[in-house]
A = this chain, B = another copy of it.
Amino acid sequence: MEKTGSIKKLLGNRIRELRRETGLSQEDFADKCGIDRSYMSGIERGVRNPTLEILWAISGGLDLDLSHLFMFETNTKEEIETTPCDS
Protein backbone atom coordinates (compact mmCIF):
# COMPACT_ATOMS: atom_id res chain seq x y z
CA MET A 1 0.00 0.00 0.00
CA GLU A 2 0.91 3.65 0.26
CA LYS A 3 1.34 3.85 -3.46
CA THR A 4 0.02 7.39 -3.38
CA GLY A 5 2.82 8.24 -0.97
CA SER A 6 5.13 9.08 -3.82
CA ILE A 7 3.77 9.62 -7.25
CA LYS A 8 7.26 10.71 -8.25
CA LYS A 9 8.81 7.37 -7.31
CA LEU A 10 5.98 5.50 -8.94
CA LEU A 11 6.41 7.37 -12.19
CA GLY A 12 10.18 7.23 -12.02
CA ASN A 13 10.12 3.47 -11.76
CA ARG A 14 7.71 3.23 -14.66
CA ILE A 15 9.83 5.47 -16.85
CA ARG A 16 12.94 3.51 -16.01
CA GLU A 17 11.19 0.30 -16.85
CA LEU A 18 9.93 1.65 -20.16
CA ARG A 19 13.31 3.13 -21.03
CA ARG A 20 15.05 -0.19 -20.44
CA GLU A 21 12.66 -1.82 -22.85
CA THR A 22 14.00 0.53 -25.50
CA GLY A 23 17.56 -0.63 -24.82
CA LEU A 24 18.81 2.92 -24.43
CA SER A 25 21.11 4.14 -21.70
CA GLN A 26 19.90 6.90 -19.42
CA GLU A 27 22.09 9.38 -21.23
CA ASP A 28 21.06 8.38 -24.73
CA PHE A 29 17.44 8.37 -23.71
CA ALA A 30 17.68 11.78 -22.08
CA ASP A 31 19.27 13.05 -25.24
CA LYS A 32 16.49 11.61 -27.34
CA CYS A 33 13.95 13.36 -25.12
CA GLY A 34 15.92 16.58 -25.27
CA ILE A 35 16.51 16.87 -21.55
CA ASP A 36 19.57 16.80 -19.33
CA ARG A 37 21.01 13.43 -18.29
CA SER A 38 21.33 14.33 -14.61
CA TYR A 39 17.77 15.55 -14.61
CA MET A 40 16.55 12.31 -16.16
CA SER A 41 18.48 10.47 -13.46
CA GLY A 42 16.57 12.41 -10.82
CA ILE A 43 13.25 11.71 -12.47
CA GLU A 44 13.88 7.97 -12.60
CA ARG A 45 14.91 7.98 -8.96
CA GLY A 46 11.75 9.81 -8.04
CA VAL A 47 13.46 12.83 -6.55
CA ARG A 48 12.30 15.28 -9.22
CA ASN A 49 8.91 16.74 -9.92
CA PRO A 50 8.77 17.10 -13.71
CA THR A 51 6.36 19.39 -15.50
CA LEU A 52 3.75 18.49 -18.06
CA GLU A 53 6.01 19.50 -20.92
CA ILE A 54 8.85 17.33 -19.63
CA LEU A 55 6.47 14.40 -19.28
CA TRP A 56 5.31 15.07 -22.80
CA ALA A 57 8.90 15.01 -24.02
CA ILE A 58 9.52 11.73 -22.24
CA SER A 59 6.42 10.12 -23.71
CA GLY A 60 7.63 11.28 -27.09
CA GLY A 61 11.04 9.73 -26.47
CA LEU A 62 9.30 6.47 -25.66
CA ASP A 63 7.00 6.72 -28.67
CA LEU A 64 4.08 6.29 -26.32
CA ASP A 65 0.95 8.23 -25.54
CA LEU A 66 1.17 10.28 -22.37
CA SER A 67 -1.54 8.25 -20.68
CA HIS A 68 0.56 5.11 -20.98
CA LEU A 69 3.19 6.63 -18.74
CA PHE A 70 0.72 6.52 -15.89
CA MET A 71 -0.50 2.97 -16.22
CA PHE A 72 1.35 1.78 -13.17
CA GLU A 73 -0.70 -1.27 -12.30
CA THR A 74 -0.27 -3.12 -15.54
CA ASN A 75 2.58 -4.45 -17.58
CA THR A 76 1.81 -1.61 -19.95
CA LYS A 77 3.16 -2.90 -23.26
CA GLU A 78 1.50 -6.29 -22.93
CA GLU A 79 -1.79 -4.82 -21.76
CA ILE A 80 -1.86 -2.27 -24.53
CA GLU A 81 -1.13 -4.66 -27.31
CA THR A 82 -3.25 -7.63 -26.28
CA THR A 83 -6.25 -5.78 -24.76
CA PRO A 84 -7.61 -8.78 -22.86
CA CYS A 85 -11.32 -8.15 -23.18
CA ASP A 86 -12.75 -11.57 -23.85
CA SER A 87 -12.76 -12.58 -20.16
Contact = CB atoms under 8 A, between A and B. Distances in A.
A86 interface: yes
A8 B56 CA distance: 10
A49 interface: yes
B51 A51 contact: yes
A17 interface: no
Interface of A: 4, 7-8, 11, 49-53, 55-56, 60, 65-71, 83, 85-86
Given A66-B70, A67-B69, 15 more contacts: A4-B56, A4-B60, A7-B52, A7-B53, A7-B66, A8-B52, A11-B52, A49-B52, A51-B51, A52-B55, A67-B70, A67-B71, A69-B70, A83-B85, A85-B86
